[in-house]
Amino acid sequence: MTGGSVTGAFADDERAVQTQIAYTLTVAIATVLATILIASMTGIVADQQDNAAAYEMNSAGERLASQIQDIDTLAADDPERLSLEAKPPGTAAGDQYTITLKDGDEPSDAYLELETTDGISTTVELRLDNTEVRDGESSVSGGSVEIVYEDGEIWLE
């Protein structure tokens, strides 16, 4: 052997090279396919987490809206002050969230807006026949919430 060339019976034998090329191509294709699979699964998991957060907030919002409407109904008897402690979950799919009670377009229409720190939000409508939202809106963090009525106004603490 001189100068790196092969002479003799193995000079035309390329079988070992073909095996290495086939192995390298197989590993490269498998790597690309695994990367695509992992990337697509990451997106699916993130979408599912967002959907879970929206569902949990909507459920918590519906329960809280029902309790706010109960206070509104009791306010028809014109008590001096009413309060009710509600206990929605403190997180939605692991994220902190904010609950905001807002006035609607009509005096009797109001709604709750629930939004996570990641920007996922949901809205729950409610009807207030006997009260108005204090200062147009009130906000609290998810968790223990006090619904307060006083002097014709309702708010969250």
Total domains present in the chain: 1
Q: In this structure, is residue 78 part of a structural domain?
A: yes
CB 116 within 8 A of CB 132: no
> pLDDT-based confidence at 10, cuts 50/70/90?
low
Q: In this structure, is residue 99 part of a structural domain?
A: yes
Range of 96's domain?
Answer: 45-156
* Whole-angstrom distance, CA of residue 104 vs CA of residue 108: 8
Q: In this structure, is residue 70 part of a structural domain?
A: yes
Q: In this structure, is residue 17 part of a structural domain?
A: no
pLDDT digits (tens, 9 = 90+) for 87-96: 999 999 888 9
pLDDT digits (tens, 9 = 90+) for 42-76: 888 888 888 889 999 999 999 999 999 999 999 99
Q: In this structure, is residue 116 part of a structural domain?
A: yes
> pLDDT-based confidence at 136, cuts 50/70/90?
confident
> Between the CA of residue 119 and those of 12, 104, 111, 114, 155, what are the distances in Å?
66, 21, 18, 10, 23
Q: In this structure, is residue 90 part of a structural domain?
A: yes
Q: In this structure, is residue 77 part of a structural domain?
A: yes
